[in-house]
């Protein structure tokens, strides 16, 4: 269980007054940061950007890099879900995203790193490959966001942007197949962390948000959802992130999904 260590924390400093999150509809780390802000009760504005066009906007806003999530807090710019988690913890320690105990914190940080560096990218590649086959499902991810142009127009013009985005993260048949093959072992690691109590405490920690949002994005693909939803990892994802927009009907070649048939939760 993730104990909430309130007693050893310093008194709360006055919160930030001007916070704006820059994200992309359906972005898993973007959603993780939104949920962290909500858990901490930090009021914020949100700017929803379109893939690739986001690169231009972030540069124009003087962010040093072109990826989201990016956040501006009282004039300070912070980018990257792990960096932002630490900044939120610094400016508003309660309720905590990390435990005070150094050993428990190290365990959570290791899971968080896995989510940020390994799981996120695997799911991103599968998603972008699917959207390259058909951009229409992008509309379902834009539900509830304000992207500044009609969603229909965004979908119609998305093709070249999705292609560029996919290329920028190394989306190829080989890397997508590799990501799918790696998924059962990744799910097993997550199930193990839940069993050990590193993930799945009563109040989500930074790693819960990182992992759960990746899994929710994966579950928006009809091809992947059955392998995830009924196991501990899927249950965690649905509890931590009850609502996640987006749905992509089956699009992956069945042969690519072979590695998922052996998973305990696939129903195969
Ligand atoms: N590991 C980084 C990932 C950042 C990242 O790659 N974000 C994607 C969205 S999930 C992005 O900015 N993509 C640019 C685009 O789609 O144009 C983090 O957690 O902050």
Which atom number of ligand 1 is nearest to the Cα of residue 79?
A: 20
Distance 68 CA to ligand 1 centre (A): 5
Per-residue pLDDT of the chain (268 residues; tens, 9 = 90+): 333 333 444 455 567 889 999 999 999 999 999 999 999 999 999 999 999 999 999 999 999 999 999 999 999 999 999 999 999 999 999 999 999 999 999 999 999 999 999 999 999 999 999 999 999 999 999 988 889 899 999 999 999 999 999 999 999 999 999 999 999 999 999 999 999 999 999 999 999 999 999 999 999 999 999 999 999 999 999 999 999 999 999 999 999 999 999 775 554 4
Q: In what order do the strands lie in the sheet with 76-79?
A: 45-48, 19-23, 70-73, 76-79
Distance, in Å, from the CA atom of 26 to the CA atom of 142, rounded to the nearest integer, reads 7
128 lines ligand 1 (CB under 6 A): no
Residue identifier of the C-alpha nearest atom 2 of ligand 1: 80
Distance, in Å, from the CA atom of 34 to the CA atom of 23, rounded to the nearest integer, reads 9
Residue identifier of the C-alpha nearest atom 6 of ligand 1: 67
How does DSSP classify residue 25? T
Only one residue has tokens 């072109």, namely 66
Question: What does the block give as tokens for 215?
Answer: 């899994």
Sign of CA dihedral 80, 86, 89, 95: positive
pTM of the entire predicted model: 0.93
Distance 65 CA to ligand 1 centre (A): 10
Whether the link from the prior residue into 138 is cis, omega within 30° of 0, is no
Cβ contact 87:73 at 8 Å:
yes
| CA angle at 44 for the pair 42 and 49, rounded to the nearest 5° | 140
Picking from 210, 191, 208, the residue whose alpha carbon sits closest to that of residue 199 is 208
Cβ contact 81:116 at 8 Å:
yes
């Amino acid at each position: 269980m993730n104990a909430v260590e309130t007693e050893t924390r310093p008194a709360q400093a006055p919160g930030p007054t001007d916070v704006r999150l820059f994200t992309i509809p359906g972005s898993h780390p973007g959603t993780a940061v939104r949920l962290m802000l909500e858990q901490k009760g930090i009021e914020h504005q949100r700017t929803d950007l379109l893939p690739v066009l986001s690169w231009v906007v972030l540069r124009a806003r003087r962010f040093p890099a072109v990826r989201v999530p990016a956040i501006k807090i009282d004039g300070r710019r912070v980018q990257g879900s792990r960096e932002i988690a630490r900044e939120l913890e610094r400016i508003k320690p309660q309720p905590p995203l990390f435990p005070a105990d150094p050993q428990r914190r190290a365990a959570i940080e290791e899971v968080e790193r896995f989510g940020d560096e390994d799981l996120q990218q695997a799911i991103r590649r599968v998603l972008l490959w699917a959207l390259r086959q058909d951009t229409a499902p992008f509309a379902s991810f834009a539900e509830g966001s304000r992207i500044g142009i009609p969603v229909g127009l965004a979908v119609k013009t998305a093709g070249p942007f999705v292609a560029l985005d996919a290329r920028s993260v190394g989306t190829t048949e080989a890397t997508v197949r590799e990501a799918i093959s790696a998924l059962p072992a990744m799910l097993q690691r997550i199930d193990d962390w839940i069993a050990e109590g590193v993930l799945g405490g009563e109040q989500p920690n930074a790693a819960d948000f990182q992992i759960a949002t990746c899994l929710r994005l994966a579950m928006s693909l009809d091809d992947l959802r059955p392998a995830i939803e009924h196991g501990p990892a899927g249950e965690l994802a649905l509890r931590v992130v009850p609502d996640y927009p987006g749905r992509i009907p089956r699009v992956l070649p069945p042969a690519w999904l072979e590695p998922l048939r052996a998973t305990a939760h696939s129903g195969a």
